[in-house]
Amino acid sequence: MKKITILFLSVLTLGLSVASCSSDDDNGGASASIEGKWELIKEGTILNSKEELVDVENGNCGGHVTEYLTNGSFNEQYFEGSECESSTEKGTYSIKDKTLNLKYEGSTSDDSAEILELNGSTLKLKFTDGNFVYIEVHKRK
């Protein structure tokens, strides 16, 4: 009887250890893709080495949404004013290492951002212009 109990506990332990080893954490974002629609939900800066983020107020108009397409282009749509006038900007993007480079149509300069987080649900970007740092947090739509 003692051998059966030990065998049962061994099988149970083995089964639990195998079941608990599944990976559902997006590999730390390594395999996540930027392609898709992303809605801006927070923005802010870094003050005294601490992120200061606030929720984005989308009001009745809708949110600020950027769609990254598989062909390396993007469409950015946002709403302005009390009349909820829609504005759209287009361009191309590329990613190298952890840097997102954006080239807007009609612009002679590029924007770039450090990708702080990219997983199945969150895209967090850090834009730096001289001493000014701007943070954006997007959620996948």
- Please state which CATH class domain 36-140 belongs to: mainly beta
**Collapsed DSSP state (helix, strand, coil) of residue 53:** strand
pLDDT for 31 equals 59
- Where are the chain's structural domains? 36-140
Closest residue by Cα to residue 93 from 33, 44, 133, 46? 33
| pTM for this predicted structure | 0.74
CA dihedral 11, 17, 18, 24 (to 10 degrees): 160
- What confidence tens digit (pLDDT) does each residue in 18-61 have? 344 444 444 343 458 999 999 999 999 998 889 999 998 776 77
- What confidence tens digit (pLDDT) does each residue in 49-100 have? 899 999 987 767 778 999 999 999 999 998 877 788 889 999 999 999 999 9
